């Protein structure tokens, strides 16, 4: 009987260790998602700022103001940033806007990468069963249209 209990205890210990490892990993992933979200928010604001300061293009400035008016990374923000992307695509952007637009694109890609990483772990049975994610919200992708300004090049 003692042997059986010892085996059960050992199995429990292994599972608890595994759960702890997954929980730590998930905690790291949630931190990454939050940090990437903060970076994305910041880069989008910088982009909207650069667009607002660009040469007089009423549609561009309106779109920039619309994007700056929204907090968080929800549906409304996605739509406003998409509108801004389309407005940027119609102008010949200055260097500051090209840079801000590129950084915003990378920030979105990297944010979505971390969200994907986190979701893979969140969907595991052990995570759902034992609520290893704690109170952390389920991360969500940020979907928007990207602007397509002229690619950088050099004169040869």
Partner 1 sequence: MRIGLVSPYPWDVPGGVVAHIRDLAETLVERGHDVSVITPVDDDDAEVPPYVVRAGRTVPVPFNGSVSRLVFGPVSATRVRRWIHDGDFDVLHVHSPETLSLSLLAVFIADGPIVATFHAANPRSRVLALMQSPLQVRLEKLSGRIAVSPAARKTIVEHLGADAVLIPNGVHVARFADAEPLPGWPGAGGALAFVGRVDEPRKGLEVLLDAFTRLRAHRPDLRLLVAGPGEHDGLPDGVTALGLVSEADKARVYKSADVFVAPNTGGESFGIVLLEAMAAGTAIVASDLDAFRRVLDDGDGGLAGELAAVGDPVALANACSALLDAPPRRAALRDAGRRVVGQYDWSVVATEVMHVYETAIAGHHGGRVVEQPEQVVAEAVRQILP
**Interface positions with partner 1 (CB under 8 A):** 16, 19-20, 23-32, 34-40, 42-43, 99, 102-103, 105-107, 109-114, 116-117, 120, 130-136, 151-156
Q: Which is nearer to partner 1, 77 or 103 (CB)?
A: 103
Q: Which is nearer to partner 1, 67 or 107 (CB)?
A: 107
Burial of 96-110, coded b for 16+ CB within 10 Å and e otherwise, reads ebbebbebbbebbeb
Q: Which is nearer to partner 1, 85 or 114 (CB)?
A: 114
Q: Which is nearer to partner 1, 52 or 102 (CB)?
A: 102
For the CA atoms of the chain, what is the radius of gyration?
A: 22
- Please answer whether residues 100 and 43 qualify as being in contact, where contact means their C-beta atoms are separated by less than 8 angstroms: yes
3-state secondary structure of 137: coil
CA distance 112 to 37: 9
Shortest Cβ 114–partner 1 spacing (Å): 8
Shortest Cβ 111–partner 1 spacing (Å): 7
Shortest Cβ 61–partner 1 spacing (Å): 24
């Amino acid at each position: 009987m003692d042997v059986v209990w010892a085996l059960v205890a050992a199995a429990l210990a292994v599972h608890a260790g595994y759960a702890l490892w997954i929980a730590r990993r998930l905690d790291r992933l949630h931190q990454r998602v939050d940090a990437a979200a903060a970076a994305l928010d910041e880069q989008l604001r910088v982009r909207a700022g650069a667009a607002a300061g660009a040469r007089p293009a009423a549609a561009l400035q309106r779109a920039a103001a619309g994007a700056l008016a929204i907090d968080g990374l929800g549906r409304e923000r996605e739509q406003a940033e998409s509108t801004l992307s389309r407005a940027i695509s119609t102008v010949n952007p200055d260097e500051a806007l090209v840079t801000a637009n590129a950084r915003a694109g990378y920030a979105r890609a990297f944010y979505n990468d971390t969200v994907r990483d986190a979701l893979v772990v969140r969907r595991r049975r052990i995570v759902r069963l034992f609520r290893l994610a704690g109170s952390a919200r389920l991360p969500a992708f940020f979907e928007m249209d990207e602007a397509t300004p002229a690619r950088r090049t050099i004169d040869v």
